[in-house]
Structure 1
Amino acid sequence: MRPRPPVKGRGIFSGTGLIITCLAATLAALVFPIWSYADRSVTGPDLLNAQAVSTRYGPLSALDRDFVTKVRLAGLWELPAGQQAQLKGTTPAVRTAGQHLVDGHTFLDERVRGVAARLGLELPNEPSDQQKEWLGILNTSQGVDYDRQFANLLRLAHGRVFSVVAQVRASTRNSLVRALADDANTTVLDHIKVLEATGYVDYEALAREMAAANTPPATPSPAPPGPVADPAPAVPVTPSPSPSYPLPPPASSPPPRQTEDS
């Protein structure tokens, strides 16, 4: 009796085995991207939550805390700059712009101190080094040079912060910060308009400064410290009370006169 020849094609390398192997490989290729995408989708929110502090008004991100600090810092130098412009400005439009700065930052400073107290955030009580430098320039300027320095320094500062306010308003999950961003947006836009109405804003120089600084939207780092249990109370800014003035139309202020040294 002849021995039976071995059966060919059995095992994983048989026709059926190859088909099963190919199907398994195809299934794995389809499933792996789903797992990978799911992992990535979880990582994003996890990273965001890692930078946020839980509050009763919603998560408070590092960007939110940075924004609250910037609102306070803006008032610490723009409010005294506005008071100074009411005294040193040589045109009604410059003095009116100063009045708008006083009114706007008196309101915003009260708002930001209230928000910080409810969120348990510490606030600075003096301007930054750059803001002190700007105030120094204004202190030593006189006449038309003062008007020009005032309009351009303040317009540059407001232009830089405008995109920060927009980013915070679009992304914050905290209701108090969202409301503060609404108020800041209205105030900053008003100040931009009255500064431009002075007729002294150098748009070419402004564009160069913005491009040189390369100021992208604000990022969460560096950020001020998060909420603390017993924050030190912020010292309020107390400007002298003064009436409000309406926004002057652009045509109310003619372009500044050219002088021999300008």
Structure 2
Amino acid sequence: MKNFVATLFAVATLVACKKNETPPPDQNSESTAVAPAAESGMTVSDSTKTSTPMAQTNALSDQDKKFADAAAKGGMMEVMLGKLAETNAASSTVKALGAMMVKDHTQANDVLMKWAATTGYTLPAVLDTEKQKIYDELKAKKGVDFDKKYADLMVSDHKMDISEFKKEVSEGKETALKSFASKTLPTLEHHLKESEKAKNAVK
């Protein structure tokens, strides 16, 4: 009889404990996230959905990392400056050049971001000090002054970009990144020709 009473008491205690358990947190609670500037043309993937393949990241050469960082920052700046050209330029030729830069470099940025997500490599999310200064100076210009400065910048910038992309093709180690550089080169070379045309048009 004592054993039966003890068993009942244990069961009652267990049920009471179950009722007093703290309910799980609300799964529908909202979390905050910082989105990249829309004007940069860069998007951020949800890193919580996939694990980081650290082995691939660690296997990247210094050349690959240097190139990826430069391409990301350069691509962001091209999109941001292109949007400025669409609004601040006086020449229809320069406006069209800016629109082309926004379209093509946004597409290239997306490809680079997908590569980074697959590889587990973290690309720069903002411009460095030098590129930010260039953007700020150009943003203050309007009309003809803007046209000349923007066209000059696009010529010099794309000459440098082409050099960097060719170096990655010849010296890079990561196959997918080398392929990105190789496939993007013709677009950059086209941009250089169009930038030179625009420069001559606004002399």
Whether the TM-score (by the shorter chain) exceeds 0.5 is yes
Between Structure 1 and Structure 2, how many residues are aligned? 149
**Which residue in 1 is equivalent to 2:81?**
81
User: Higher helix proportion, which one?
Assistant: 2
Query: 1:145-179 CA distances to partner (integer Å, 9 max, x unpaired)?
Result: 10011011222122122111111101223221111
The alignment status of 1:124 with 2:124, answered yes or no, reads yes
**Which residue in 1 is equivalent to 2:202?**
256
Q: TM-score, normalised by structure 1?
A: 0.53
**Which residue in 1 is equivalent to 2:64?**
64
Letter in 1 for 2:79: L
Unaligned runs of 5+ in 2: 1-53
Give, in whole Å, the separation in 2 of the partners of 1:81 and 1:166. 23
Give, in whole Å, the separation in 1 of the partners of 2:153 and 2:94. 13
The alignment status of 1:142 with 2:138, answered yes or no, reads no
Give, in whole Å, the separation in 2 of the partners of 1:193 and 1:136. 25
Contact 2:77/2:131 (<8 A) preserved: yes
Question: What's the CA shift for 1:122?
Answer: 0.7
Question: What's the CA shift for 1:100?
Answer: 1.3
The alignment status of 1:155 with 2:155, answered yes or no, reads yes
**Which residue in 1 is equivalent to 2:97?**
97
Q: TM-score, normalised by structure 2?
A: 0.68
**Which residue in 2 is equivalent to 1:112?**
112
Percent sequence identity over aligned pairs: 21
**Which residue in 2 is equivalent to 1:234?**
none
Unaligned runs of 5+ in 1: 1-52, 201-254, 258-262
Q: Within 5 Å, which residues of 2 pair with 1:137-216?
A: 137-200=137-200
Give, in whole Å, the separation in 1 of the partners of 2:89 and 2:108. 23
Letter in 1 for 2:121: L
Whichever of the two has the greater Rg, that structure is 1
* Partner secondary structure for residue 199 of structure 2: coil
* Cα-Cα RMSD: 1.9
